[in-house]
Amino acid sequence: MLQIKPILSTLMRNKSGPILLLIQIILSVAIVANASFIISERIALMDRDSGTAEEEVFNFRLYSFDSSIELESQLQRDIRTIRDLPGVMDASATSMVPLSGGGWSSGYTVGNTEETAKDTESAAVYYGDEHMLNTLGVDLIEGRNFYEEEVLTGSPDLATHGIVSKAFAKASWGDEPAIGQIMYAGDFGDKPIQIIGVVDKLQGAWVNSSYLDNSVILNINLVNVFTKVLVRAEVGTLAQLKEAIPAALHKDNRNRVIEGFTLISEHRKRVYRNHELMATVLSMMVVLLLLITSLGLAGMVMFNIERRTKQIGTRRALGAKKRDIISFFLVENYIICLVGGVIGGLVAVQLGQQLMSVYSLPKLEPIYPIMTIMGLLLLTTVAVILPARKAAKISPAIATRSV
């Protein structure tokens, strides 16, 4: 039998220990539930797919400091030279690199008339040629790629065709097909850009942006003394290409600085480092809180065993079995944990609302307090069972030794 009434009477006779333990459980549940939710959210953020072949694609910076270099023709020769190197699958000049933390972004205007025109959400803007899609390794799910003759060189204002991510297409045109739509780089009717393709996913550079999945690729080769180059190569060839690319480009013209070879996967590690650190620290805190709470319960049980030795022996002498003694301490543990867990769950919800308003976190899902309470019950059962089994071994003779 559970014998709830004697257990409650025992707890009420010695209130200080159970009350302190109850407060500890309430705080532990409130903190662990919210910490677990934040950990889960951070892991979900870090697991987001960029849409690119991250282990194959790397970028580097090319700086031409010789004013006599004809930049457009030089860039064309450089890209052809890179594509011809062993291990290289494709290459393209670019305006920005996914997950790099810096680049171009813009909003556009869409609509069929000036009265229905509206501004789009912000989107990362990639300028590139017909090799950009293959270089990034993105999946074209609708429409087509740029034709070679459609790619222009010079100012971003020259863009006439665009390829957009599915997320940006959905945000801009809803359920309408994006292919054939017109968006404007300025006000309605100003600098029209026709959408010719949609890629499944392409993230921008800023992982903390709510518009990370909004991206646009425009048919422009930017020419500048500072150029970013994307290269897609076979996995494991980056080390040799770090040597081969500068050597090949310097054969054509040595008046350039070539540096910053970085895989997109390395950009990912860098930009998500703070998220990873937060998840690690919170995980350590969760383990520590659960461990302290379990040790607190185990310590209370061991103290009660010493204090109730005669009582336990008397119960054994009156016919109580070992399992009755063990169940007594387990039920006592469950009562404290459940009461503390329910109150702690309510506190966790309130704490979650504060975090939601201050740090713009999503709403705490009820599953996290529930799972925290279940985990606490399981952990404390393990912590209590060993001293409870020790109590069950107390001989009935203990009860009569001092009589």
Residue 399 has pLDDT above 60, yes or no: no
Comparing 323 with 273, the larger pLDDT belongs to: 273
Residue 220 — pLDDT band, cuts 50, 70, 90?
very high
- Report the alpha-carbon distance of residue 240 to residue 227 in Å, rounded: 21
Sequence-ordered list of residues with C-beta below 8 angstroms from that of 312, at least 6 positions apart, any chain: 305, 325, 391, 394, 398
Higher model confidence: residue 324 or residue 49?
A: 49
Q: What is the pLDDT of residue 1?
A: 46
Across residues 240-246, what is the average pLDDT? 95
Which position has the token pair 């970013």?
Answer: 228
Q: What is the pLDDT of residue 195?
A: 97
> Which spans in 308-321 are helix H?
309-317
pLDDT exceeds 80 at position 170: yes
DSSP-assigned letters across all residues of 116-135: T-EEPPPEEEEE--TTHHHH
CB 57 within 8 A of CB 136: yes
CA-based Rg of the chain, rounded to a whole angstrom? 33
Phi-psi region of 273 (alpha: psi -120 to 50; beta: other; left: phi over 0): alpha
Q: Say whether pLDDT at 119 is over 60.
A: yes
The predicted model gives 213-225 an average pLDDT of 93
**Beta carbons of 38 and 363 less than 8 angstroms apart:** no
Tokens of 263: 């895989």
Which pLDDT score is estimated for 397? Answer: 66
- Both tokens of residue 345? 């769950």
Question: For the residues 18-39, what does the mean pLDDT come to?
Answer: 88
Place of tokens 């081969």: 244
pTM: 0.81
Please tell me the predicted confidence (pLDDT) of residue 148.
93
DSSP string, 328-382: HHHHHHHHHHHHHHHHHHHHHHHHHHHHHHHH-PPPPPTHHHHHHHHHHHHHHHH
> Which stretches does DSSP call E strand in 185-246?
192-199, 215-218, 220-221, 226-233
Please, is 70 exposed, middle or buried when counting C-beta atoms within 10 Å of its C-beta (0-12, 13-18, 19+)?
exposed
Would you place residue 173 in the very low, low, confident or very high pLDDT band (cuts 50, 70, 90)?
Answer: very high
Predicted local confidence at residue 136, as pLDDT: 97
Q: Does 402 score more than 60 pLDDT? A: no
pLDDT at 7: 66
287-292 average pLDDT score = 88
Task: Name the token pair of 200.
Answer: 């499944």
In tens, the pLDDT along 308-359 reads 676 676 666 667 677 777 777 788 878 888 888 899 888 888 888 887 777 6
Pairing assessment for the beta strands 105-106 and 57-64 based on DSSP bridges? unpaired
Under a CB-based contact definition with an 8 Å cutoff, are residues 269 and 100 in contact?
no
% of the chain surpassing 90 pLDDT: 52
CB-based contacts of 328, cutoff 8 Å, min separation 6: 3, 6, 7, 388
Report the distance separating Cα 136 and Cα 58, nearest Å: 9
The predicted structure's pLDDT at residue 2: 52
Average pLDDT along the chain: 87
Please say if the pLDDT value at position 43 is more than 70. Answer: yes
Distances (CA, A) of 107 to 96, 165, 185, 210: 16, 14, 8, 14
Rounded Cα gap, residues 389 and 298, in angstroms: 12
What does the alpha-carbon distance between residue 178 and residue 180 come to, in Å, rounded to a whole number?
6
The proportion of the chain whose per-residue pLDDT surpasses 70, expressed as a percent, equals 91
Using an 8 Å Cβ cutoff, are 93 and 296 in contact? no
Please tell me the distance from the alpha carbon of residue 216 to that of residue 106, in angstroms, as a whole number.
9
For residue 402, with 0-12 CB atoms within 10 Å meaning exposed, 13-18 middle and 19 or more buried, which class applies?
Answer: exposed
Residue range 57-86: mean pLDDT, rounded = 91
Say which range, 68-77, 284-293, 363-372, 390-399, has the weakest mean pLDDT. 390-399
The pLDDT confidence band at residue 376, using thresholds 50, 70 and 90, is confident
